[in-house]
Amino acid sequence: MSIIKPFKGIRPEKSNASNIASLPYDVLNSNEARILAQNNPMSFLHVVKPEIDLPKETDIYADEVYLKGKENFNHLLEKGLLFKDTTDSLYIYRQIMPVNGKNHIQTGLVAGASTIEYENSLIKKHEFTRVVKERDRTRHIDTLNVSTGPVFLTYKASDKINSLIKTLTQNTPEYDFTSADGISHIFWVVKDSSDITLLCEAFKEVPCMYIADGHHRSASACTVSKMRREANPDNKGDEPYNYFLSVMFPHDELMILDYNRVVKDLNNHTPEELIEKIKEKFTVEHTDSPKPDQKHTFGMFLDNKWYRLTAKEGTFDDSDPVKQLDVSILQENLLAPLLGIGDPRTDERIDFIGGIRGMAELEKRVNEDCKVAFSMFATPIEQLMAIADADKVMPPKSTWFEPKLRSGLISKSFSE
């Protein structure tokens, strides 16, 4: 059973939605955020990355950063650029992204997701979190008393939910704009109590949900929730802090792109030596198609040439949901034994490039500051769910979801 809860959303005044909405905090660094927001005082980057309004030498985890975020959020409220709905509502968020001449469309329900269900693994995880990043978002939520970054959840598609969403999206949307990157953002407010009841009841038939993107945001929200529960001896379970901001999409509408790798050196191998060693576990052939078209195949850009690598039979455990992942095969059979990348989470010799940047970015990095690049076949959503169902964890940087949910279109108070 999946428990969802309507809430009084904090959101932009209609005419300013496109100016306020921003990329999420974790897809750009402070300098990139500073440039994007420099001519837009409304940008929600001032809230989710408030260090951009402090001297550049400021420690991004300093107390004044979180206090600045609170100040900036309150400023948007005081100026009337943001307001809080007066009734508990659900919301629908649709994104349309042009991809290879076609439109990718995904439509999610915005609601509060239960922190208790998260703790009881009814909201399933597939990644470890990093302590420093989790602590950062915990402090951000606790200081602002608001969840400003929606967690991207998915569930196995339901005909009943699809039908309800289809009917509700026939109504006039509250927001409808296209951001600078060409992605359309369409947003509906669901206030009718009977519609809310139907949606909440339909989700009770969903056995579990999965975190697609936002492990640090969800973990941090649940940490704050636990802190508030422990501080409130009269906690009943329905308090606002027991539900975190989420957008829930059916699994068959999601788009996962490849998450590629670049390595800064060849671990004392020459290109010729490396290729010979790779041939022990992979077939190697020259290719003019650097992007893999099926699982267990990889592109490799080395010495200004593209190669196609195909994992040989018997070099991985096809019965294990984690070990059969392409990212695992590459890590265990090439990156670790040949290039010496033992822990890709911490090794500074490896970097990761989201598939949205394309193959040209891999070539660019090899020509600038790296020696070899690997292009990956995108991990299917079914593999992600199978790993979460098995209570296992995917290797780091296994999935790259597009389009990214915008921050600022909806926030959720932890106290109301």
User: What is the identity of the amino acid at 301?
Assistant: F
Runs of H (alpha helix) within 185-270: 193-203, 215-231
Structure tokens belonging to residue 5: 């809860």
pLDDT at residue 1, as a whole number: 87
**E strands within 223-349?**
243-250, 255-257, 259-263, 282-286, 297-302, 305-311
CA gap 252, 234 in Å, rounded:
41
- With beta carbons less than 8 A apart as the criterion, state whether 13 and 81 touch: yes
Structure tokens belonging to residue 345: 């989470």
SS3 state at 332: helix
User: What is the identity of the amino acid at 46?
Assistant: H
pLDDT at residue 229, as a whole number: 95
pLDDT at residue 128, as a whole number: 84
Mean pLDDT by 10 residues, the chain (416 residues): 96 96 92 94 97 96 97 97 97 94 96 96 90 94 96 97 98 96 97 98 97 93 96 92 97 94 98 98 96 96 98 94 95 98 91 90 96 96 92 87 95 92
Dihedral over alpha carbons 27, 28, 30, 35 (to 10 degrees): -140
CA gap 69, 50 in Å, rounded:
5
CA gap 104, 20 in Å, rounded:
24
Element (H, E) at 331: none
- With beta carbons less than 8 A apart as the criterion, state whether 204 and 147 touch: no
Bond from prior residue into 337 cis (ω within 30 degrees of 0): no
- Number of Cβ within 10 Å of residue 401's Cβ equals 22
Which residues, in sequence order, are CB contacts of 64 under 8 Å at separation 6+?
Answer: 54, 58
CA gap 74, 349 in Å, rounded:
41
Which residue from 137, 126, 127 is spatially nearest to 48, judged by alpha carbons? 137
Which residue from 55, 6, 49 is spatially nearest to 24, judged by alpha carbons? 49
Phi, psi of 171 (to 5 degrees): -75, 165
- With beta carbons less than 8 A apart as the criterion, state whether 215 and 129 touch: yes
CA gap 330, 315 in Å, rounded:
10
Domain coordinates in residue numbering, the chain: 4-256+402-413, 259-377
- Number of Cβ within 10 Å of residue 58's Cβ equals 16
pLDDT at residue 100, as a whole number: 80
Query: For residue 335, what is the DSSP state?
Result: I
Partners of residue 190 on adjacent β-strands: 90
pLDDT at residue 303, as a whole number: 96
User: What is the identity of the amino acid at 292?
Assistant: P
CA gap 118, 84 in Å, rounded:
26
Answer whether 0.85 is exceeded by the pTM.
Answer: yes
pLDDT at residue 135, as a whole number: 95
Give the domain 259-377 fold.
3.30.1760
pLDDT at residue 99, as a whole number: 87
Cα–Cα distances (Å) from 83 to 11, 74, 76, 128, 150, in that order, read 6, 10, 8, 35, 17
CA gap 88, 191 in Å, rounded:
7
N- to C-terminal Cα distance for the chain?
A: 26
